[in-house]
Structure 1
């Protein structure tokens, strides 16, 4: 694991966009394509608005999501809507996009949406993660009943999670999928999350799921802190 500290969130966003684009370029050079899985919420927006201008072969990139709330695609809490609005524009507009919740039918039957996502599963080459003040990353929440399954399943896949502290059910990559990515980036901003990160780096514990990614990733795991 490598830790990069930045004086401001804008500096962090710029450095993260550059590093992600370099990781995608390398994957394209090796494979001819790259799969990028990103997180939602408001925190990644400044990075998205820089990454979308980066000059790389976006037509060879497929963008998908680390996790998604089970809400309609036009819902204010939709991660897919956020990605469309802030990333899939300018140079990045030529990338392919695979949302996890496509329509109202998926909202009505999220288990079927998960099954379909797993049938079409493509392992992300690059994952971009955030972290909550409870130590969750992706939608691996400490209080979700599905957490142990998400942590113990050796097969990279999506699953449905029902975190008690969140208003919506989630579709999320499991731990195996996060660990299988060639590059994983974690963005941490603010003093409260910095304290959580400090605890997470002391050792792996299911009470702080992000600590399991940090301790077990065997490829490239970089933390960008501001």
Structure 2
């Protein structure tokens, strides 16, 4: 699958991680204020993992009408919040504190033997809050984003630009548990897209991703060539 070469990402290079995280928090808060002013509600999607923690903590203190903001992850491991691998638990400990505790969390996990058993319930909870107003993504050295991994079992379905799925289960080589991920159409439809990356390894991966068109090889290309130009936030 090929992207649209006419869409050029905006790359913002920060001198250090601290300014990267605080500036991104201000930019995302601005996205949400704009949505709240225009529609009275806003939807935010953020990545899991430890890298975005300082950004999420900074954003939690933003002066916003958080009671009208819905928050979701871009993807989640299919584990309960009691697990040390739960991104939802990290989200509660970073973003959903202080003023942002008033936001509504859209869950990506419900107790079941497999994600397929609760997929419709999770998707129906997300659908009324789309399109996303501000979506922040990470990227792996393998050029995955969200849980759209090269070689994953349902990657083709997740990357289908004409697909109707909101969220899909995903199993990938090296991933110890199933994941749930927003699909490429949902990510590409976000009103504001941001990619948060740090370090030389990610910089090299980004350069490779920007140089090609095959989405299956580098799933992050699906958002690098999204209709609304993505902002890439990079620090060494």
Fold in common (TM above 0.5) = yes
Q: Deviations over 1:181-211 (max 9, x none)?
A: 1011100101100000011111322211111
Q: Deviations over 1:113-170 (max 9, x none)?
A: 2211122223122211000000000000001021001111432510000011211110
Q: CA RMSD, aligned part only?
A: 1.2
Hey, what does 1:180 align to over in structure 2? 189
For the residue of structure 1 that corresponds to 2:193, the secondary structure is: strand
Offset of 1:50 from its aligned partner? 0.5
Q: Is 2:41 the counterpart of 1:36?
A: no
**Higher helix share goes to which structure?**
1
Hey, what does 2:178 align to over in structure 1? 169
Hey, what does 2:218 align to over in structure 1? 208
Structure 1 gaps of 5+ residues are none
Bigger relative CO (Cα 8 Å, ≥ 6 apart): 2
Q: Deviations over 1:25-75 (max 9, x none)?
A: 111111110011111001110101100011111111011111000111111
Hey, what does 2:19 align to over in structure 1? 11
Hey, what does 2:56 align to over in structure 1? 48
TM-score by length of 1: 0.95
115-124 vs 47-56, which moves further:
115-124
**Aligned counterparts of 2:61 and 2:231: Cα–Cα separation in 1:** 22
Offset of 1:7 from its aligned partner? 1.0
Aligned pairs, number: 222
**Aligned counterparts of 1:112 and 1:149: Cα–Cα separation in 2:** 18
